[in-house]
Amino acid sequence: MDVFMQAAIDEAKKGLAEGGIPIGSVMVINRRIVGSGHNKRVQDGDPVMHAEIDCLRSAGRVGRYKDAVLYSTLMPCYLCAGAVVQFGIKKVIVGESKNFEGARAFMEAHGVEVVDLDLPECKDMMAEFIQKNPALWFEDIGKL
């Protein structure tokens, strides 16, 4: 397992242990983790605190993102993909997109390289969560 994706998975598990939605993210610049986070909709009662947004916040005011690689356990939605495109992040590596198609095409149309690792560990974690918490999941992706 890629050490950075493992860190994103660890974030997702932290969120799950807190009673939250198990999606984790880390941002890497020059092979160093500069930010990490996980979905906190439940924990903070905050609808925008998706894993990637929490991760970008934790990294602070980076300024230039052209060398940044954003890892996420799940394909980013339009909110998080919008941040990627606006901030000029050039590469996104995800654990899976089977449980959520996300905004891959949108990112690619804006020149972002998207790599989908299609990891069983990520797919199983998310599938189990969605099955147990459908309303929470559909709230998170704006499909209530």
- Catalytic residues, by residue number, are 52
Report, in Å, the least distance between residue 21 CB and a second copy.
12
Residue type, 67: D
Choose among 7, 33, 37, 3: nearest CA to 21: 37
Nearer to a second copy, 121 or 136 (CB): 136
DSSP state of 9: H
Q: Is residue 131 a contact residue for a second copy (CB under 8 A)?
A: no
Please pick, from the candidates 32, 64, 111, 132, the single residue that binds a second copy as defined by CB under 8 A: 64
Please pick, from the candidates 15, 41, 93, 119, the single residue that binds a second copy as defined by CB under 8 A: 41
Residue 123, burial from CB neighbour count under 10 angstroms (0-12, 13-18, 19+)? middle
Q: Which stretch binds a second copy (CB under 8 A): 23-31, 78-86, 90-98, 114-122?
A: 78-86
Please pick, from the candidates 19, 47, 120, 134, the single residue that binds a second copy as defined by CB under 8 A: 47
Q: How many CB atoms lie within 10 A of CB 30?
A: 8
